[in-house]
Amino acid sequence: MKTSTAVSASASPRVKRLAFSGVFLALALVLPFLTGQIPQIGSALLPMHLPVLLCGFVCGWPWGLAVGAVAPLLRSVLMGMPPMFPTAAAMAFELAAYGAVSGLLCRILPKKPLSIYASLLGAMLAGRVLWGIVRYFFAGLAGSTFNMAAFWGGAVLSALPGIVLQLALIPLIVLSMQKAGLTFRE
């Protein structure tokens, strides 16, 4: 009879990616509670972004994309925050890009610590640009405006603390997980 340790040690990489992706999705749903009492802090620290970026690095781009696309929509349905339109809908595109691009760049760039920063910066840039494009499109549908000042304010200025937090924490966590053998990319 196999013990649970033996079963988990022999689990396929796909099962491990699925399990870790579930944990990252759960973190994306729960972390905003830490900042939810003060919405300005939550929008500045970007708590949903951290687990999605980590999912791309740890599990690979398809898993990061899926967790990123689902997390804000599921959180909106289950908890009413963020509001579905336009916030959660636009965030779904942004976070899907974070998870996909972090996983893709991590896979194709040399396996060096500096590549983690390059992958992270590429993912953050791609996600924010996609968020701006989607918000512009949604504003047109809603009959409102979304200009460059709104993009700059929402994507960069108000998010600066979260950007700094991501740049400080994500590489440390990814390097620690790689050292521990807890990455399951192809």
Question: Which one, of 75, 72, 52, 79, lies nearest residue 64 by Cα?
Answer: 52
Backbone Cα Rg of the chain: 17
Instruction: Quote the pLDDT of residue 6.
Output: 43
User: Mean pLDDT of successive 10-residue segments in the chain (186 residues)?
Assistant: 50 92 98 80 88 97 98 97 95 98 96 95 97 94 89 88 96 95 76
Instruction: Quote the pLDDT of residue 67.
Output: 98
Instruction: Quote the pLDDT of residue 3.
Output: 46
Residue 158 vs residues 30, 155, 162: alpha-carbon distances, Å: 22, 7, 9
Q: Residue ranges of the domains in the chain?
A: 12-179
pTM: 0.91
CATH 1.10.1760.20 holds for 12-179: yes
Instruction: Quote the pLDDT of residue 132.
Output: 95
Cα separation, 120 vs 117, whole angstroms: 5
Instruction: Quote the pLDDT of residue 87.
Output: 93
Cα separation, 114 vs 169, whole angstroms: 14
Cα separation, 140 vs 135, whole angstroms: 9
The set of residues, in sequence order, having a beta carbon less than 8 Å from that of 49 and lying 6+ positions away, is 95, 98, 127, 162, 166
Instruction: Quote the pLDDT of residue 185.
Output: 61
Instruction: Quote the pLDDT of residue 103.
Output: 97
